[in-house]
Structure 1
């Protein structure tokens, strides 16, 4: 099965290539990436193609620090809904633990680990899980740059890692890394990592929101890893696409690499249809969201993919024979 990555990881690619005098569309098409996908935050491309196009761009544009430059356009928001968990967590350490836990939602080929290797420090280790020999320096540097930007977002602009570790030997001068990370940088290490002090992990996040945090953790928990059977894959995509209000059969089929008629036929062979699955997922998630006492009804409707509250009201009466507020009271009484 091809390992994918969300196209949000391309943020800044077009702008940087243009600054360097290149043609981004040409570079993308060489690795069979449709340039139009970069405008769709829910799209995916093969991770291998992403790695290869970064390395190729660095080479042909004579820009050995391409990954670091591209990182300047990115922070935790490239991770989509994971960013909501991170921004609403109680502490920086908790936020990082959730990134580690859910990174597979962004790409199952990226492995993170928060390693408390010393009493006073932890390493946020970044690894790429992809079989076969493949030059990955640009992606490693992009990922560490994004991690650094994320920590500045959480800790404040004065954030400074204790050190930065790279597993490879870079042709760039050490001063280039020190200028970006504002700390000691070591090449040829046993991992790629930010070394963080314990006090930084214990720092409280100003925008912490327990309700949003709990809701988004619940949202991702069951679906962070893409399941294998077709029905579960469709349910996974429905859940992921509902908040975008663009959850339609053609888009789901496209994500699976199938024609919509083929997808309908295969679902029918398994005793279900797309609209039936969509309805079932919405009904199940409606109960989860309504059980949150303080979640606004407009927010529930939006998370379920409805652009208008009245449409959600009608759906709720269809499912439960009662209005949303009555259903909430019923669920809270059961609790």
Structure 2
């Protein structure tokens, strides 16, 4: 397992389907190939594997010869893809306060990414760095462009659409597209093959007022974030389910590995799940039942292949589980899923 198996909210994929369709492909087919649900993407509160998001962006960029795909994705996003965090940021008193909200609560969007203020990489006076980072040192270039591109867009939006004092951009990968694509997006010089992804900004940025901020709305948003998430992140059971969704077939569920990815001691993970009214075994069962239903009713895989994908050692285990979950046999469930649906009157 890799750190990129950590989850990110489905809202990260908003606009990908439409963009792929504009490029001459089939957006819905691309999403389906990776198991993404368009309805969940539109709703935005559930999670998908960061690894799959990386793969989907890299495949689309390669297949349709669009090396600036990540930047295009970032350019079309609005602030509210961040959910309640967006409300807290756009109603902060200053941009520095908004950046602080993002640094503290970005885990609500994904525990796999972070934003922090650092010293200027070039040591220039009056300049600081805003470093966008992933939990993995091997994050895909398209995902890096997308992530730091969104940070730039959010800062521009909360500054009323005006320049916010960006001096230059540093990216940790080689140039993917023509320099003009980067300059058009950031409006500043972009350097490549740097140690990390950084926006170099004026120190005055922290004191610049947020355009149209409202103290009451900010306080409500912060209270919501604290009440629903505290600083423990999204519900642990959701994070575990998102990780397991990509891991069941690779040796079966492993509590120790999942705990490591979440930076928790196994006992702490079990305790957190207990506080949410479930167990690791219970989450595994929930994920397996959802995947079993999809694999049985929408694919032609043999039942032994499905059992293997679910991390079950024998087909008989799948049969028993399907009877418990759906009160029927796998074969009957498959026939029911393949029956033509009656047309509406």
**TM interval, short-chain normalised:** 0.5 to 0.7
**Aligned alpha-carbon RMSD (Å):** 2.5
What's the TM-score, normalizing by structure 2? 0.64
Q: CA deviation at 1:37?
A: 2.2
Q: What is the rounded CA distance, in whole Å, between the counterparts of 1:99 and 1:140 in structure 2?
A: 17
2:133 aligns with 127
Cα shift readout 1:180-215 (whole Å, capped 9, x = no counterpart): 211111111111011111122211113222232223
Q: CA, structure 1 residues 216+259, in 2 after alignment: closer, same or farther (shift >3 Å)?
A: farther
Alpha carbons 1:92, 1:204 under 8 Å: kept: yes
Alpha carbons 1:33, 1:49 under 8 Å: kept: no
2:51 aligns with 48
What's the TM-score, normalizing by structure 1? 0.66
1:187 aligns with 192
Alpha carbons 1:55, 1:135 under 8 Å: kept: no
Cα shift readout 1:84-104 (whole Å, capped 9, x = no counterpart): 110111100110111011111
Say which structure, 1 or 2, has more relative contact order (CA 8 Å, 6+ apart). Answer: 2
- 2:234 is aligned with 1:204: no
Alpha carbons 2:68, 2:176 under 8 Å: kept: no
Q: What is the rounded CA distance, in whole Å, between the counterparts of 1:209 and 1:34 in structure 2?
A: 35
Alpha carbons 2:160, 2:211 under 8 Å: kept: no
Cα shift readout 1:101-134 (whole Å, capped 9, x = no counterpart): 111100001121122445522211111114xx85
Q: CA deviation at 1:144?
A: 1.7
User: SS at the partner of 1:196?
Assistant: strand
Q: What is the rounded CA distance, in whole Å, between the counterparts of 1:11 and 1:35 in structure 2?
A: 9
Alpha carbons 1:67, 1:141 under 8 Å: kept: yes
- 2:166 is aligned with 1:166: no
Q: What is the rounded CA distance, in whole Å, between the counterparts of 1:90 and 1:258 in structure 2?
A: 46
- 2:266 is aligned with 1:230: no
1:136 aligns with 140
Q: CA deviation at 1:258?
A: 7.4
1:154 aligns with 158
In the alignment, structure 2 segments of 5+ residues that lack a partner are 237-268, 291-345
Identify the range of structure 1 (87-96 vs 203-212) with the bigger mean alpha-carbon deviation.
Answer: 203-212
Q: Which runs of at least 4 in structure 1 moved beyond 4 Å after TM superposition?
A: none
Q: CA, structure 1 residues 150+234, in 2 after alignment: closer, same or farther (shift >3 Å)?
A: farther
Alpha carbons 1:91, 1:205 under 8 Å: kept: yes
User: SS at the partner of 1:257?
Assistant: helix
Q: What is the rounded CA distance, in whole Å, between the counterparts of 1:23 and 1:46 in structure 2?
A: 21
- 2:49 is aligned with 1:19: no
Q: What is the rounded CA distance, in whole Å, between the counterparts of 1:182 and 1:106 in structure 2?
A: 26
Q: CA deviation at 1:234?
A: 6.1
In the alignment, structure 1 segments of 5+ residues that lack a partner are 236-252, 261-335
User: SS at the partner of 1:162?
Assistant: strand
Alpha carbons 1:165, 1:192 under 8 Å: kept: yes
- 2:287 is aligned with 1:257: yes
Q: What is the rounded CA distance, in whole Å, between the counterparts of 2:77 and 2:92 in structure 1?
A: 20
Identify the range of structure 1 (84-93 vs 157-166) with the bigger mean alpha-carbon deviation.
Answer: 157-166
